[in-house]
Structure 1
């Protein structure tokens, strides 16, 4: 076998191996490595590790940083800035020799002397600017580190990648705004491959490195449960975005969960099997790991309130026996379930095979799944399997999955976030991304509000403050406004949030027509009344209330007659509602209509089939919203139509986006529903750029005197559905029409600088006239705005010209004064400077406006 040639890489590896036993040999090997390739950055870094002199260490770090601007290298250089860089003996041959001394052969001429002076002055300016820039950079605090630990490789790599993207995307926004109290937040990503041994090693590494303030992760229950005692002992707060076993947070007061756990999930699924699907029996197929076992155990416990589990089968986690386990599970469920709903507590790979096996075996019973099977990625895998077997609809039918995130019921902020994520990464975010974003954000919230020290000396106390901040989020009144709504934790550290149930429409998961939500009773009498009437269900120590889900669609026909002085506009649109249950879902009001009693009227279509009702209406009236004019005339306005139930709270009815809207290209939202060839926008001088549809929850944290209202203990909230039309002002015609007189005044005022200094009267008159004319023009331009207390963008432009005109008046007076006192040279200098500075000033102002609003 040929001998491996020595390269910079191999020599560096040898040096690393011998650095502890023979430091001198390690230095020699690294010197040899750099002699072969002085551009190999790791060799410089390792040489900095083995040398003992600070000057030599700084020299090596400087060379490494010049090759790769690594933040860790930069921080190490900063710590040694008091030392003087000195090349180690091992690399002295790589340092250029000093140049020979230059001989002086003659006297420097005056022109050369001036050149040197000019160069010196330029260098001083450059160094001063660099010093200011460096000083301002030093004022930024040291970075704060947050860890993300997930299975970046392995079966859950796709979900973990979504987590990392969501966290990085949010931290980019936070750092662009200055970080947390001036400290940038750096993300350290660790891959535990969803393996327990790697999870333990990484947790110990995090403790040993002592850098991170808190941990987001781990992503599976097995790995989180293995790492929990390590974080507990080190008192490092951790929050998992996706591990659902209750044992993780039960056993540690330093571990939290940014989504619901298996106890909550099982309570909701049990109620769904019993009350919605009407079954007293169920079968369970679960993964033989911590997630699956705890999902099975909690479901059996919860479902005992309603019936019994007739079959419970584990799927082996071992790859070699997985296929046999799936076949055995399908056979046992078919034999013992007797057509009862089947609950799957499985990962995606086994979930796909079990659903395929059940349907292939002729089992048509409803299949329910835990959150691991609720992502759009899993739905896409089902559809691909259907296509491969030429059995469309065979696997996606009669599915009901529990999830923390239903894509059709995103609120306004969540919809914006999901759109931004899709624009950045070219795919819609999975629910794991939203949970990771919530996890990192609640940590940032604790950092901002907790009075932290942000240095190594205060790290233990900072971690305790983060942990205590999370523990203080204990109910809805004491919650954090997270991406998906109020985030707060139960006594064991698991997020208190409802489980949404999604079903397939053939192309995606959408909200099921009947849901449950968490019910907080105000009194025992209220609980008894709601239980008796069937509006509330008791599951263990929890109360759940039935929620009617209304699939809502809005198709805009026309928007016109925008009045910016009072914020009103006319909208003509179709609206339809699809729901199961009584017709109270159609008893809606438009909360931002100019007429407070605006109703839907009689439906154009009213169809009820198989318990599902479809109603179509047409509405045409004036609406209002609060317009913002800070950027006028470069402003963008959001015109909304807000629909809300008149009597039922958000606990009883929720409006979500209909699949017909989800199936449309967003560009089609700008086409009229009454005439597909027409644009919805009929507002002169405005351009419609987009239309968005989303749900939102509004209300009061107080019961407002209604103690019998559902959820009154935490206030009364209502579900709204919003259509939001984005209008951009057609700026160019506006500027041409309204700024042309100002441009003429600018030209005339500039001419005043070319008058003779003795003619002081006309330039002064021209400047004063320009100021007064500008004030009149500004009043005319802003007359279309309502009464506002702030200065709009265009006003700053007019004020900039008024300042310029006033300066021209002052210059005219100074020029005349200088001539009168026989200081002609100074007058000429002032005149030239003013004629140059005038257009430069205008260019700076225009450039600033283009940079801010362009």
Structure 2
């Protein structure tokens, strides 16, 4: 049998094993490994570890980095900046021999040509270098800062964990492009605990031992988070879970936070929904036997009991069959499910197949698109539409029809990038990451290895300081602040199925913060507030809102006004005051809806249709002029009811439409909405938002602030740039050509080039004033002005060059004059090219 030849991998492994006992032998083995395969990057890196000379180390690191641009290798090379690379003896035979001398010497004229081209190359390199620094400014000035994400990437919650990672990487890309945190790029370290307690404990210990991260986003499940909590507590590492809801996680550690509601809040909302909204006096809780299920059982039994109602609990262990659940539940009372998507689907199918039509409520684990899609798929297989999705209510931190403007834009960006709508875990994970970055950026961190413990303490203290609405962080899903035990203080949205997706249920609950003791007593007396322990909840009327745009026209950029014609409809149950709205950005402050085109009420549900045509106003941003995009907004708000009493959400008819259809006229399907010359409508979106003040605004009964729910239709338009540039820049292009000709005059004719340059400067100033006359008075410099200023600088330089050439020629320095002339003629177009490239990079996307 022939002798086996050692591979580069095997030789490198043997070298690593012997590096401590026999470093010389290890270097020989690495030399042999590279002789077998000089493109094997790990061998170059290990050889860099073993050599003693800095030049040899630089040589090995250069070879490794050329094969794989690893950030750690790049930082090691940076530490040796200025050191000349020298090949180690073990690999000297792998280095190419030097090239022979050129056969003939370059003549004097050739040397001059070479110097000229070198000068041109240097100018190009400098310009491109400046451009590169400008485009990447601030992205990687300092050492990287590390944040860990720990979730079940391969466990039963792998899909949700993948959405979390996607959301974090997507946000960090934006953060790092903007310069990171105080000049430090943020890098994400992802750990997979497979939702296994043993693995979670080991990963937490690894994070502590590696001592790199400032804080942790995770873990994903209650069991794993609870197991890791004491490890992070002892090490002083703050952690923020985006999805683990057990109250014991944050209760047991003042270093653990939660970027969504916990089981205590979730149980209070579900208990009140069952008792007050559904009017039931009993319920059955079917729950898992893991930490999350036990936590829900304890909290829900306590919450429901405070309402004077009785609940039965049924553990859903590994051996529990669906038939057992069907036999154990009361078929006439609501059933609350606190379980996984897979088990929840089986239980819902079993209950409905057995004829149980009682309302089914679910915790946030079931409030996902994937669970709803699984229900729809099961309905299609049986041919019974609505069998599983009817009379289903699920709690969630994110209802897609009530996303705010920033949240809707984020969801659209996520879908464009990853080809699917984000699960709520993606939103809460982004909140966890972002609130930690906020604490890092505002608490005076030093970002050094010696100061890491202090930095972590400051991040933890920064999170704990977010303790009420006045001291909250403007997160994706609304103001984010924490209870004293570290759980996010936020309402639970209850969603139900419209046959296509989960949408907000007609009645919602919200956290009621009484402005005064008298107001609380009155609210409790009239039933508008419900007491549940030390928490107060109130009913909130949901108004499904739709806007169908007919046209936008008559844009006036100087005063920021425009005309919008549109249909508006409102669907709601209950008090008709929901239709008493005002348009907060109308030019006429008293603009009202008027009489509806249609007004229908059936089974307590009201539908009203209106048509509105009026001028509205917005604050426009012109920093990118003429590459600017403007947003034309129509914003409505209830006249008298606050956000605690009424909320406007997107109607299902809007959600069912493709976003491209929003740009078609509702009055003429063959026409578009855009009737503004020289502008293109690029998108339209519809969303709700909450506005107000955390201060009382002089109202003694409004101690906790006044907030209103608003609903917006927003059309984004972009200037049709090419015709604009052709019309407005053609005179400037002609000036550029004429000014360039001034560089070809003889040095003795200095007066003519100077006159041409000065004329160009004055003409450019006139052109600039003419172009910007359509803008309002703004205090900043717009994009187009920078281009004009760049040419004015160029023209002034041409004047200076003409004067210098004449002086050099007059003093007998003809050679210097000729060199200056050549450099100016080459530098002129290079400078212009740099300006054009800068604009393409900045505004080309």
TM-score normalised according to structure 2 size? 0.91
Matching of residues 7-406 of structure 1 within 5 Å? 7-9=7-9, 36-45=36-45, 63-76=63-76, 92=90, 95-96=93-94, 99=97, 114=111, 140-316=141-317, 318=318, 321=319, 324-333=320-329, 337-406=330-399
Partners of 2:109 and 2:683 lie apart in 1 by 63
Residue 829 and residue 480 in structure 1: after superposition, are their counterparts in 2 closer, same or farther (change >3 A)? same
Q: Which moved more, 1:813-822 or 1:720-729?
A: 813-822
| Other structure's SS at 1:302 match | helix
Offset at 1:662? 0.7
Shift of 1:383: 1.1
Inter-CA distance 109–257: structure 2 relative to 1 (3 Å threshold): closer
Counterpart Cα distance in 2 of 1:537 and 1:101 = 87
1:217-259 alpha-carbon deviations (Å, 9 max, x no partner)? 0000000011111111111111100000000011111111111
Query: 1:96 Cα deviation (Å)?
Result: 2.8
Aligned to 1:720: 710
| Matched-pair contact (CA < 8 Å) for 1:771–1:802 | yes
Counterpart check, 1:790 vs 2:788: no
Deviation, 1:105, is 13
Aligned residue for 1:424? Answer: 417
30-39 vs 666-675, greater mean Cα deviation: 30-39
Unaligned runs of 5+ in 1: none
Matched, 1:579 2:572: yes
Of residues 544, 554, 573 in structure 2, which corresponds to 1:551? Answer: 544
Name the CA distance, whole Å, in 2 between partners of 1:105 and 1:824: 32
- Distance in 1, matches of 2:832 and 2:823, equals 14
Alpha-carbon displacement from aligned partner over 1:702-734 (angstroms, at most 9, x marks no partner): 1112233xxx33211111111111111112222
Q: Does 1:540 align with 2:538?
A: no
Number of aligned residues: 840
- Secondary structure of 1:304 counterpart: helix
Q: 1:396 to 1:53 in 2, by over 3 A?
A: farther
Distance 1:641-1:486 versus aligned 2 partners, 3 A rule:
same
Cα pair 2:694 2:705 within 8 Å, conserved? yes
Picking from 658, 669, 678, the partner of 1:676 is 669
Aligned partners of 2:138 and 2:178 also within 8 Å:
no
SS at match of 2:306: coil
1:845 aligns with 2:835: yes
Q: Cα gap change, 1:46/1:816 in structure 2, threshold over 3 Å: closer, same or farther?
A: closer
Of 603, 621, 638, 1:645 maps to 638
* Alpha-carbon offset, residue 804 of structure 1: 4.0
**Which residue number corresponds to residue 522 of structure 2?**
529
Q: Deviations over 1:309-340 (max 9, x none)?
A: 44311111x4xx3xx4333122211xxx1411
Aligned counterparts of 2:368 and 2:16: Cα–Cα separation in 1: 45
Deviation string, structure 1 residues 808-835 (Cα, Å, up to 9, x no partner): 5555556666676677776666655555
- Distance in 2 (CA, whole Å) between partners of 1:612 and 1:69 is 62
8 Å contact from structure 1 (residues 520, 713) kept in 2: no
Q: 1:68 to 1:725 in 2, by over 3 A?
A: same
1:786 positional shift: 1.5
Contact 1:383/1:396 (<8 A) preserved: yes
Greater alpha carbon shift after TM alignment, 625-634 vs 364-373: 625-634
Matches within 5 A, 1:355-754: 355-708=348-701, 712-752=702-742
Worse overlay, 608-617 or 429-438? 608-617
Q: Contact 1:699/1:717 (CA < 8 Å) preserved in 2?
A: yes
The answer (yes or no) to whether the contact 2:181–2:441 under 8 Å persists in 1 is yes
Cα gap change, 1:846/1:72 in structure 2, threshold over 3 Å: closer, same or farther? closer
The alpha-carbon deviation at position 838 of structure 1 amounts to: 4.4
Distance apart, 1:34 and its partner CA: 5.2
Superposition deviation, residue 654 in structure 1: 0.9
What is the DSSP-based 3-state SS (H/G/I as helix, E as strand, rest coil) of the residue aligned with 2:205? helix
Deviates more, 1:171-180 or 1:772-781: 772-781
Between the aligned partners of 1:176 and 1:456, the Cα distance in structure 2 is 24
| Secondary structure of 1:714 counterpart | coil
Partner SS for 1:561: strand
CA offset digits 1:113-134 (Å, max 9, x no partner):
9599969978996999899999
Shift of 1:551: 0.8
Note if contact 2:287-2:297 (Cα within 8 Å) is conserved in structure 1. yes
Q: CA deviation at 1:794?
A: 2.4
> Does 2:790 match 1:800?
yes
Gap change, CA 1:657 and 1:824, over 3 Å in 2: same
Deviation digits for residues 633-674 of structure 1, max 9, x if unmatched? 222111100011101111111111111101101111110001
> Quick one: distance in 1 between partners of 2:552 and 2:313?
57
Query: How many Å separate the matches in 2 of 1:818 and 1:105?
Result: 36
Asked if 2 retains the 8 angstrom alpha-carbon contact of 1:693 and 1:723, the reply is: yes
- Structure 1 67/529 Cα, relative in aligned 2: closer, same or farther at 3 Å? same
Provide the C-alpha distance between the structure 1 equivalents of 2:251 and 2:813, rounded to a whole number of angstroms.
87
Structure 1 Cα separation of the partners of residues 78 and 831 of structure 2 = 40
What's the RMSD between the two structures over aligned residues?
3.6
CA distance in 2, matches of 1:215, 1:26: 38
1:138 and 1:127 map into 2 onto residues whose CA distance is: 23
CA distance in 2, matches of 1:202, 1:778: 61
Q: In structure 2, how many angstroms separate the alpha carbons of the residues matched to 1:182 and 1:167?
A: 19
Q: 1:15 to 1:841 in 2, by over 3 A?
A: closer
- Shift in alpha-carbon separation, 1:699–1:80, aligned structure 2, 3 A: same
Structure 2 contact 138–183 (Cα < 8 Å) conserved: no
1:807–1:96 CA distance, 2 compared to 1 (3 A) = closer
SS at match of 2:450: helix
CA contact (8 A) 1:149 1:190 kept: yes
8 Å contact from structure 2 (residues 139, 184) kept in 1: no
* Kept after mapping to 1: 8 A contact 2:331/2:357: no
Distance 1:71 1:839 in 2: 37
| Change beyond 3 A, Cα 1:488–1:827 | same
What secondary structure sits across from 1:456 in the alignment?
Answer: coil
Does structure 2 retain, via aligned residues, the 8 Å contact 1:819–1:827?
yes
Task: Out of 105-114 and 500-509, give the one that drifted further.
Answer: 105-114
- Check whether the contact 1:600–1:617 (CA below 8 A) recurs between aligned residues: yes
Deviation at 1:307, TM superposition (A): 3.9
Asked if 1 retains the 8 angstrom alpha-carbon contact of 2:402 and 2:687, the reply is: yes
> Secondary structure in 2 aligned to 1:153?
coil
TM-score for the superposition, normalised by structure 1? 0.90
Query: How far apart are the structure 1 equivalents of 2:200 and 2:708?
Result: 43
Aligned-residue offset at 1:443 = 0.9
Change beyond 3 A, Cα 1:383–1:11: farther
CA distance in 2, matches of 1:100, 1:650: 77
Question: What is the Cα deviation at residue 746 of structure 1?
Answer: 3.9
